[in-house]
């Protein structure tokens, strides 16, 4: 099973809305102008880094594709090509989004992957939901 993540308009809208509202709240604080400008600059940097991570800009996402082989090993592909096998440790499905957490035994680190429903087609979403219910998928 291979899942290819496309650009998500819903995620881009969420990022813009959340960062815009945070900017409005910062401007409502009774702080001096220099501190407000620094906090707004920090928000812009946060927005750009988030957009870059999830592939909302013209660049490829950090994780743009992942697949599971017959032995239950997961392989992640994206900007940084991950050659080693990963194990699925946790998954959460909240309506139109899914968060998968993978761990690598070789590098002893975790890699979260966010899947938005409009970033994959309906059949892939259905197959991924079914796959996550299968106990053989978990490491």
pLDDT tier at 82, thresholds 50, 70, 90: low
Q: What proportion of the chain, given as a percentage, has pLDDT over 90?
A: 31
**Locate tokens 């992942």: which residue?**
66
Mean pLDDT, residues 97-118 = 86
Among 46, 52, 55, 39, smallest CA distance to 18 is for 46
Query: Per DSSP, what are the bridge partners of residue 22?
Result: none
- Specify the pLDDT at position 139: 58
- Specify the pLDDT at position 81: 64
pLDDT surpassing 80 at residue 24: yes
Six-digit token string for 75:
């392989």
Mean pLDDT, residues 107-122 = 87
pLDDT surpassing 70 at residue 84: yes
- Structure-model confidence comparison of residues 136 and 123, the more confident one: 123
Is residue 83 within 8 A of residue 77, CB to CB? The reply is no
pLDDT surpassing 90 at residue 67: no
Q: Which residues contact 70 (CB under 8 A, 6 or more apart)?
A: none
């Amino acid at each position: 099973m291979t899942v290819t993540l496309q650009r998500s308009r819903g995620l881009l809208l969420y990022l813009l809305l959340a960062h815009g509202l945070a900017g409005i709240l910062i401007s409502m604080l009774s702080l001096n102008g220099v501190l407000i400008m620094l906090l707004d600059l920090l928000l812009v940097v946060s927005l750009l880094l988030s957009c870059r991570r999830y592939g909302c800009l013209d660049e490829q996402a950090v994780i743009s594709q992942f697949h599971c082989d017959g032995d239950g090993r997961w392989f992640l592909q994206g900007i940084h090509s991950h050659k080693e096998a990963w194990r699925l440790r946790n998954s959460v499905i909240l309506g139109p989004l899914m968060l998968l957490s993978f761990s690598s035994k070789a590098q002893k680190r975790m890699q979260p992957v966010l899947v938005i429903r409009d970033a994959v087609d309906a059949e892939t979403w259905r197959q991924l939901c079914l796959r996550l219910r299968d106990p053989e998928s978990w490491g």
